[in-house]
Structure 1
Amino acid sequence: MQLAAPSGLMSLFLFIVAVGVLALLAGGFWMTSRVRYRESPRPRPEEQPKLPPEGPVHEVRENRESAEIPRIPKGERPLTPYELTNMDTRTNASKERPRWSKGSSGSFGGGGLGAH
């Protein structure tokens, strides 16, 4: 019964917790203002980037094809991924975009039947 009785000690504890939470919030605002004060100022409108004199840069679309993977003669050791690095790509002469085969989902594990 005594535990269920209202106590002034519990009220004091809740008041101290509330004051602690408010102190943490005030400390957070104070720390944020100190960090912002140390940052460089925001750029003024005249310091913003400008368009180049020739105008906006436009997107270039091209198809790329990769270099062939070297063929390994029978009986020799296969190449490791580290030996296949820096394989360049080159511009494909064909301007036609590659398409997925008919009946394929277009992705690995996409749930479709695939090209049968």
Structure 2
Amino acid sequence: MAAANLTPTAPLAAPHVTSGALLTLVGVVIVAVLLAAFVWGRRAKTREPAPPRPEEQPRLPEGGPVGDVVENRPPDELPRTERRLSPHELKGEGTHDSSPPR
């Protein structure tokens, strides 16, 4: 068995033919993976339901579009206590309505 030639002047890189073949092989593998991903995506797309037809689209209510509702409510006053209140001791924020029911 021959000893390995590891002198400082020994070439450590692969020959040009080997590196060219390796780059070609890597390129072919990348192209194959991209093609497989494309085919897989097309198959997944065909399994999806079709987009809704125009008659299946949502429609506006008969009364037209619903506008914004603006309500002004007075704030609930907090009681003055010696200690902090926990959340379950507080009333709901703005739960009472100042306007009469419709």
Q: Which has the larger radius of gyration?
A: 2
TM superposition outliers: structure 1 runs of 4+ over 4 Å:
3-6, 90-93
TM-score of the superposition, structure 1-length normalised? 0.57
Task: Please say if 1:30 is aligned against 2:13.
Answer: no
User: Aligned partners of 1:80 and 1:41: how far apart in 2?
Assistant: 52
Runs of 5+ consecutive residues of structure 1 not aligned to the other structure: 94-116
Task: Please say if 1:88 is aligned against 2:71.
Answer: no
Runs of 5+ consecutive residues of structure 2 not aligned to the other structure: 1-8
Q: How does 1:66-85 map to 2 (within 5 A)?
A: 66-72=75-81, 74=82, 76=83, 78-81=84-87, 83=88
TM-score of the superposition, structure 2-length normalised? 0.64
User: Aligned partners of 1:63 and 1:53: how far apart in 2?
Assistant: 28
CA gap of 1:45–1:85, structure 2 versus 1, over 3 A, is farther
CA RMSD, Structure 1 to Structure 2 (Å):
2.9
Query: How many residues align structurally?
Result: 89
Which residue of the partner structure matches residue 65 of structure 2?
A: 56
Deviation at 1:8, TM superposition (A): 0.8
Decide which structure has greater strand share: 1
